[in-house]
Amino acid sequence: MLKKYLTCKKRIEHSISTCREMVRFAPKFSLNKNHAKIAGLYHDLARDLDADKILKFAEKFEYKPDKYELEYKTLLHGAASCYLLKKEKIGNDKIYNAVLKHTIPEKKMTMMEKLLYVIDFAEPKRNYPEAKIAYDLLSKDLDHALFYVVKTVIGYLLDENNMIHPRSIELYDEMILKGGYHGKIDY
Ligand SMILES: [Fe+2]
Ligand SMILES: [Fe+2]
């Protein structure tokens, strides 16, 4: 199924690695291993499609893109991947929500949604040094790993003068206010 939609070899390897780590960590967070496996393997299913097709498929999933997502249509590859999964009769709402939110995280997320967001960034095929830091944090504390990934991704976006989606900022602010991450932390 991966090869039916993904054309980039690196993306296929990333999907398999994400799947492997989702299955590895699922028991630690009392998650259904099969759901974790499907979410990991297929979260980027629509990622290699062109932007207009991604938008079309996201809309077919009845997802309503906002102005930020319409400007950066690749942000919609989560919603478009959900459409492909539904078309292939694979998955359920828990899986779709994890796949949906892996592109833009938000304040209210389930364990499965948090785990996919973190592992997508931290799986061992990722070759930036922050991936290893996030992976090590994940072994200790999912929320701390989530905080680290959110703030690191926001940092990357700021460095490139890119927009930050308001849902990511809301999540970051909430973790600062309620998560106890305020102040300097050495990683
Ligand atoms: Fe993705
Ligand atoms: Fe991914």
Q: What is the CATH number of the domain that holds 158?
A: 1.10.3210.10
Centroid of ligand 1 to alpha carbon of 98 (angstroms) = 11
Q: Is residue 183 one of the residues assigned to a domain?
A: no
CA nearest 19: which of 110, 124, 101? 124
Nearest ligand to residue 75 Cα? 1
- Among the bound ligands, the one closest to the CA of 102: 1
- pLDDT category, 180, cuts 50, 70, 90? confident
Is position 184 within any domain? Answer: no
The CA distance from 62 to 104, in Å, is 17
Total tally of structural domains belonging to the chain: 1
In a domain, 102, yes or no: yes
Mean pLDDT confidence for 99-105:
98
Residue 185 lies in a domain: no
Q: What is the 15 CA–ligand 1 centroid distance (Å)?
A: 9
Calculate ∠ Cα 5-149-174, nearest 5°.
115
Considering the domain boundaries, does residue 163 fall inside one?
yes
Question: Can you tell me the distance from the alpha carbon of 144 to that of 181, in angstroms, rounded to the nearest whole number?
Answer: 8
* Ligand 1 centroid to residue 181 C-alpha, Å: 26
Between the CA of 99 and the centroid of ligand 1 the distance, in Å, is 8
Identify whether 60 is part of a domain. Answer: yes
**Amino acid occupying residue 85:** L
Domain coverage including residue 75 = 2-178
Q: How far is CA 167 from the centre of its chain?
A: 13
Task: Tell how far the Cα of 14 is from the centroid of ligand 2, in angstroms.
Answer: 7
Q: Does residue 179 surpass a pLDDT of 90?
A: no
186 domain residue, yes or no? no
**Could you tell me which of 117, 34, 111 has the C-alpha nearest to residue 78?**
117
- Cα(16) to ligand 1 centroid in Å equals 13
- Position 76 scores a pLDDT of 98
Distance from the alpha carbon of residue 74 to the mean position of ligand 1, in angstroms: 9
Percent of the chain scoring above 90 in pLDDT: 95
What would the mean pLDDT of 66-85 be, rounded to a whole number?
97
Rounded to an integer, the average pLDDT of 166-176 is 96
pLDDT band of 2, cuts 50, 70, 90: very high
Q: Note the pLDDT of residue 127.
A: 96
Lowest mean pLDDT among 69-78, 143-152, 174-183: 174-183
Q: How far is the CA of 126 from the centre of ligand 2 (A)?
A: 10
Query: What mean pLDDT do residues 2-12 have?
Result: 96
Distance between Cα 43 and ligand 2 center (Å): 6
pLDDT at 183 over 90: no
Distance (angstroms) between ligand 1 centre and the Cα of 44 equals 5
Q: Are 75 and 68 in contact (CB under 8 A)?
A: yes
| Arithmetic mean of pLDDT, 154-169 | 97
Q: For the chain, what percent of residues have pLDDT higher than 70?
A: 100
